A and B are shown apart, each in its own frame.
Chain A
Amino acid sequence: MHDIERRAFVKGAAMGALAFTVGGAEVLLTPAAARAQGVPLRTLTAAQAATLEALGETLVPGARQAGISHFVDQQLSIPAEEALLEARILNVRPPYANFYRAALGAIDRASQALNNGRPFVELSEAEQRSFVDNMRQNKVEGWQGPAGPFVYLVLRSDAVDVVYGTMDGYAALGIPYMPHIAPSKRW
């Protein structure tokens, strides 16, 4: 699709929901629905997505089921100017996939180095919490990658977005959403 036509598409029909590819066709889904339907990933590897899910769930309970990996994966597959990621606001330089790959790689490398070869996804919940707490404070030994506290900030924001930033997330907290223009599909 030509850039300008694509932009028009995004400004119009797809506004308020994300376009995922299912059976060769683009359909509008929430990330949670995309995960539930097993929509194939576009950008992340299965291992990266698993790390992101585990990390997201550690950061914000519910992020896994809310589809954090499908959200980030879909967002990394579209032009940066269409992206909804907090990374955009935090001055991450496009393409954003570079940052996510570096961040997820740093997490697994550090986890393996500190835990007898076990990647983050294989750690116990307590170990995952401890790892994240150290990452937050830039205290992970041998960390190599984007600064740990910044990785924490960006990925925590993604998890917050999918769990608490949606209309369903507001409803779960008992907060009236009160939109002027509501996102479609409550997302």
Chain B
Amino acid sequence: MANERVDAVIVGAGASGSVFAAVLAKAGKKVVVLEQGPDWQLADLISSDFWGRRIKPASVPFLREGKNPYGYVFNAGWGVGGAALHYFANFPRLLPNDFKIKSEHGRALDWPISYGDVAPYYDKVAQDVGVSGDAKAEEIWRPVGAPYPMPPMKTFRNGEIWLKGFEAAGIRMVPAAVAMNSVDYKGRAACIHDGWCHVGCPTGALANPLVTYLGDAKKAGAEVRALSTVTRVLSNAQGAKVTGVEYYDAKKERQVQEASVVVLAAWAAQNPRLLFNSATEKHAKGLANSSGLVGKYVMAHFASGTWALFDEDVQNHRGTTGAQFMSYDRYGKTSHKGSFGSTFIVAGSALKTSDLGGFANARLDLFGPDLAAFMKRAARGLTRINAFGEALPNIENRIEPVSDKDEFGMPLAKIVHTYDQDALALWNANFTEGLEIAKATGAKEVWSGRGNMPTIHLMGGTIMGTHAGDSVTNSYGQTHEIQNLYIAGPGIFATAGASNPTYTILALSLRGAEHLAANWSTVAG
């Protein structure tokens, strides 16, 4: 069954797809956004750890392999808003050193653009979605930019209590940049610091897509079709252009949506899966994959969490799930001897009792009466810092189709992921430093939150570069091989940095979408 042809079809209603939808719809283009999951509304975002799991995927189209299997569900999205419906809204930028690792260190990859190319879009996004923070304070680490539109967020004892430890370690902490309202902003209310960000903020204080770009896109006329699972990107007989997508609707009936431009914004793992499944005679290895690089160089962040238990009440239920304070003082690629990669440090997260990040898991070894006793003490005095680490791109970390298929006959894929020795060394170094910081706070007990090495965020798989021989897309997300096929989201990152990725996802998407709109006739032809 065919639908009316549109200008642009966007696959995925998360952070990046929402930006493309808003920019193109405002430019007067007819836009359809296809989203695999439900049409979540703010009223669906119940303040509960277990009710909050409904907005994450349940089915498993990805098998997990490698020494550090990618644990994707907890930080993946499912439904309108995508993962940005439950993200923590930490908004650190990448820094200039992230874009030139190969040039400066002879390792990893260079981006085809510099920090200066992205910086104006960081500033634009801050105005669009609302960012609270102190840009001036950050400028000890990065070039000067525009001030943030809102002052820093309120801080609480669970964050402030760490400052003494950081000072002792010589680490400068500044107010965390977050995509949350410290004051009312653009008709959205200020945050009330109740710490339920991780299950979705229904007040509009946290800049999720529903209250920012996706809301703008709908107002400008974009249509969002939920429960619509895209299975293939369609291309013409010559293989030179894409013509639309095949998808299955809420009744599981096959549909075709023709469009002049296709934007894949379905997540760093799903975009390669779709490209593989869109193979034709002209694109035997999958669309945009003559280089064989589709699915390659997937990257994750890891975190070294350090816990401290105090006798005093640190009010750990207050604040936000993200952070109150942040530091780039260990962001240099060689900051820790014997390892390589950046570290981004945060302090002051609101804690809840259950779920992966809840304080029952702060001592996973405890059970029975010991756990019950710990929960009582933790409810009053537990707090945590986190050091996020960078893993370098490795071509062996990849997404590949497998023979098993989903209910629509689309092959599943596997995510193969192993950290290298540099990442392991950096993870360990950050634990060591975390304990030193914690001890200097005067806490009653301190310990490292060790377990399996975590895999947080997912980047790469369709990396950007200068030509089809070294990458899948250019810096705008436009595939090298098919000019009217775009990829949006963290999949186009050439390296991962250590910063939470969403701010950069939005900035790159805005840059790509504005470029597309400005060059529409050339691209859409």
Q: Which residues does A use to contact B, with CB under 8 Å?
A: 4, 7, 11, 15-16, 58-62, 79-86, 88-91, 93-94, 129, 132-133, 136, 152-153, 156-157, 160-161, 164-166, 169-170, 173-183
Shortest CB–CB separation between residue B376 and chain A, in angstroms?
Answer: 6
A179 and B194 within 8 A (CB): yes
Q: Which residues of A contact B167 (CB under 8 A)?
A: none
Q: Does B160 contact A (CB under 8 A)?
A: no
A–B complex contacts, Cβ < 8 Å, 19 sampled: A4-B227, A11-B44, A58-B367, A59-B368, A61-B369, A83-B54, A86-B53, A94-B59, A132-B368, A156-B364, A160-B360, A164-B353, A165-B48, A173-B375, A174-B380, A177-B47, A178-B195, A180-B47, A183-B47
Residue of B nearest to A169 (CB): B353
Stretch at the interface among B67-75, B120-128, B483-491: B67-75
**Closest chain A residue to B205 by CB distance?**
A180
Closest to A183 in B: B48
Q: Find the residue from B71, B202, B251, B379 having the highest chain A CB count within 10 A.
A: B379
- Chain B residues 352 to 372 lying within 8 A of chain A, measured CB to CB, are 352-356, 358, 360-361, 364-365, 367-369, 371-372
Taking the closest CB of chain B, its distance from the CB of A11, in whole angstroms, is 6
Question: Can you add 12 more A-B contacts, CB < 8 Å, to A84-B51, A88-B58, A183-B47?
Answer: A15-B44, A58-B368, A59-B368, A79-B58, A80-B59, A82-B54, A82-B58, A90-B71, A153-B364, A164-B354, A173-B375, A180-B202
Kindly state whether residue B2 has any CB partner on chain A within 8 Å.
Answer: no
CB neighbours (8 Å) of B225 from chain A are: none
A161/B372 in contact, CB under 8 A: no
- Would you call the interface of chain B mostly helix, strand, loop, or mixed? loop
Beta-carbon nearest neighbor of B40 in chain A: A11
- Measured between beta carbons, the chain B residues less than 8 angstroms from A59 are 367-368, 371
- A4 to chain B: which residues have CB within 8 Å? 227, 250-251
Q: How many A-B residue pairs have CB under 8 A?
A: 150
Q: Is the pair A173, B379 in contact by a Cβ cutoff of 8 Å?
A: yes
Whether A179 contacts B50 in the complex (CB less than 8 A), given A7-B38, A88-B73, A136-B367, comes out as no
Alpha-carbon separation in the docked complex, A85 to B251 (Å): 26
| 7 shortest interchain CB distances as A-B pairs | A179-B47, A165-B354, A178-B194, A164-B353, A84-B50, A80-B58, A173-B379
Would you call B201 an interface residue if the criterion is a C-beta within 8 Å of the partner chain's C-beta atoms?
yes
The answer to whether A136 and B73 touch across the interface, beta carbons within 8 angstroms, is no
Known contacts being A15-B51, A161-B49, is A181 close to B379, with CB within 8 Å? Answer: no
* Residue among B71, B227, B371 with the highest chain A CB neighbour number at 10 A: B371
State whether the Cβ of B45 lies closer than 8 Å to any Cβ in chain A: yes
Q: Is the CB of A16 within 8 A of B369?
A: no
Q: How far is the CA of A168 from the CA of B71 in the complex (A)?
A: 31
Q: Given A11, A156, A169, which contacts B367 in the complex, CB threshold below 8 Å?
A: A156
Task: With both chains docked as a complex, state the minimum distance between the C-beta of B394 and any C-beta of chain A, in angstroms.
Answer: 22
- Asked if B372 contacts A60 (CB within 8 A), the reply is yes
Docked pose: A61 CA to B12 CA in angstroms: 43
Kindly provide the distance from the CB of A94 to the nearest chain B CB, expressed in whole angstroms. 6
Residues of A within 8 A of B57 (CB): 88
